[in-house]
Structure 1
Amino acid sequence: MLYRDGLILVIDKPAGLAVHAGPSKAPNLEECFDALRYGLPRPPALAHRLDADTSGVLVLGRHPKALRKLGRLFSGRGTEKIYWAVVHGAPPKDEGVFDWPLLKLNTKSGWSVKVSDKGQPAATRYRVRGRTPDMTWLELRPETGRTHQIRVHCAHAGCPVVGDRLYGKVEPGRPLHLHSRAIVLPLSTTRPPIEVEAPPPPHMLEALQACGYVSPAP
């Protein structure tokens, strides 16, 4: 648990765990929500989504009124989401915006997303935080919430996320190096926004440290 108040819970989702049930019947995060009531009559519910392979900050609404409020924030631009990624190669500049439209494709073998003029507008701000000769640590701030947005934008820019088996290189045994680092939620007009961050997951630490990340002192 990263944060809790009367409206919301913010948890640190582990990589590799889907947020809700899928066709595979694999374990999912929603199965655990009943243990997160903290005295309320019903379990919390998802206010937004993260890919199964993405770790980090995930917001839950504790009751219907909270979920409606969060829905309005997430459907507009009321929230600020900050992600960290380690990518192969590097983007064209040290900071900028990926603004290619994205189209979701459904096929017999599954679905994926690609850059297409027929797609929906999508924008991701990025900034280089550190690098090695062949990898880059990026901070990314999506301004829209398209499916797989960061992963597809990075791949299209020539710097796919490390461990991205769908849009990048197949790297057996290497998890996706994409982490929902922080979120800013302006839930009140009379109080400062709620800011919550999640520490990087263990599987990303080696690559992050190679790129210059220094773990905080215990």
Structure 2
Amino acid sequence: MEQFTFVVTEKEENERIDKFLANKDENWSRTLVQNWIKDGVVSVNEKSVKANYKCQIGDVITVSVPEPEELDVKPEPMELDIYYEDEDVIVVNKPRGMVVHPAPGHTSGTLVNGLLYHCKDLSGINGVLRPGIVHRIDKDTSGLLMVAKNDYAHESLANQLMEKRVERRYKAIVHGVIPHDHATIDAPIGRDPKDRQKMTVTKINSKEAVTHFHVLERFSDYTYIECRLETGRTHQIRVHMKYIGFPLAGDPKYGPKKTLPIHGQALHAGVLGFEHPRTKEFLKFEASLPEEFEKILQMLRNDR
């Protein structure tokens, strides 16, 4: 059990305790915090409170985070589009609609379930729910992922990500016609205080986020672009493109409802490059656009 302690500041006075705590960690939802309060693992000045308690200046709030529930993640046979594999690393092309790793209430049909059946030896650094997973892409984003088969490889790949040495390029279709050929978006991203299910550009509890992009093709109402990630924040491309006024087509969370006939955001992780953990050779892979993505581009070209 891990314990956290917070002291309420003047700026946070009269804020509900569930909202106060949910803003302290991007992985703490208000629902999760409310359950902790019901379970008695949250205290204010060493006393139990209810979720609607209004914080007062100087309150000492303690949270004893319970150990995560162990879930039984089972190997499942499935067709995997593997681009590369050796004793340390797997590079796989994830299809649109597939979740990367299990979560409470969703323990089957994920990429991790398929990987466990395929090779049975994945790194244990990220625990039982995310074995081998060094980075992730959203359910409705297709494309390349690197997966570690042992802890040695995992540490190397994670360090490369942290040091911004991994090459990650994405193809996307956005609403609107971008007038300039290329640009860099340097804007910090954090949890949206108005909607905990979303991320947003904010200076509050945020992390550095940098996205470079250039225009590949323009249409009457849309633009086809390539993005290069310098950092890897949750929903980074989706949030950054909305921030500058060109949200991703088909994005159910950050884009307009009236959009292209595509299931989920038009985003594909097409290029992945990294230094092999053991040989130190730089490996680079490229996955072509999914058929659905290609059809949308052809439709836009025909309408031009």
Give TM-score scaled by structure 1 length.
0.86
Are 1:35 and 2:35 matched, yes or no?
A: no
- Equivalent residue for 1:71? 158
Unaligned runs of 5+ in 2: 1-81, 124-131
- Equivalent residue for 1:19? 100
Amino-acid identity (%): 31
In the alignment, the residues of structure 2 paired with residue 69 and residue 12 of structure 1 have an alpha-carbon distance, to the nearest angstrom, of 21
Q: Does the CA contact (< 8 Å) of 1:130 and 1:211 recur in 2?
A: no
Q: Does the CA contact (< 8 Å) of 2:209 and 2:236 recur in 1?
A: yes
- Larger RCO: 1 or 2 (CA < 8 Å, sep 6+): 1
Q: Does the CA contact (< 8 Å) of 1:91 and 1:158 recur in 2?
A: no
In the alignment, the residues of structure 2 paired with residue 113 and residue 64 of structure 1 have an alpha-carbon distance, to the nearest angstrom, of 30
- Of residues 185, 190, 196, the one that matches 2:285 is 196
Cα deviation, residue 43, structure 1? 3.8
Offset from partner CA, 1:127-157 (integer Å, 9 cap, x none)? 0011211111110001111111100111111
In the alignment, the residues of structure 2 paired with residue 210 and residue 76 of structure 1 have an alpha-carbon distance, to the nearest angstrom, of 40
1:100-119 equivalent positions in 2, closer than 5 A:
100-105=187-192, 110-118=196-204, 119=206
Are 1:94 and 2:173 matched, yes or no?
A: no
Are 1:6 and 2:87 matched, yes or no?
A: yes
Give TM-score scaled by structure 2 length.
0.63
Cα deviation, residue 72, structure 1? 0.9
Quick one: which amino acid aligns to residue 103 of structure 2?
A: G
Offset from partner CA, 1:98-155 (integer Å, 9 cap, x none)? 1111121366x75211111333221100000112111111100011111111001111
Unaligned runs of 5+ in 1: 213-218
Offset from partner CA, 1:66-102 (integer Å, 9 cap, x none)? 1111111112211110000011113351101011111
Quick one: which amino acid aligns to residue 171 of structure 2?
A: W
Are 1:129 and 2:223 matched, yes or no?
A: no
Quick one: which amino acid aligns to residue 113 of structure 1?
A: M
1:106-185 equivalent positions in 2, closer than 5 A:
110-118=196-204, 119-170=206-257, 174-175=262-263, 176-185=265-274
Q: Does the CA contact (< 8 Å) of 2:171 and 2:268 recur in 1?
A: yes
Give the 4+ runs in structure 1 shifted more than 3 A: 188-192, 209-212
Structure with higher Rg: it is: 2
> Which shifted more, 180-189 or 129-138?
180-189
Quick one: which amino acid aligns to residue 204 of structure 1?
A: F
* Count of aligned pairs: 208
Offset from partner CA, 1:46-80 (integer Å, 9 cap, x none)? 12111111100011111111111111111221111
- Equivalent residue for 2:129? none
CA RMSD in angstroms comes to: 2.2
In the alignment, the residues of structure 2 paired with residue 100 and residue 27 of structure 1 have an alpha-carbon distance, to the nearest angstrom, of 35
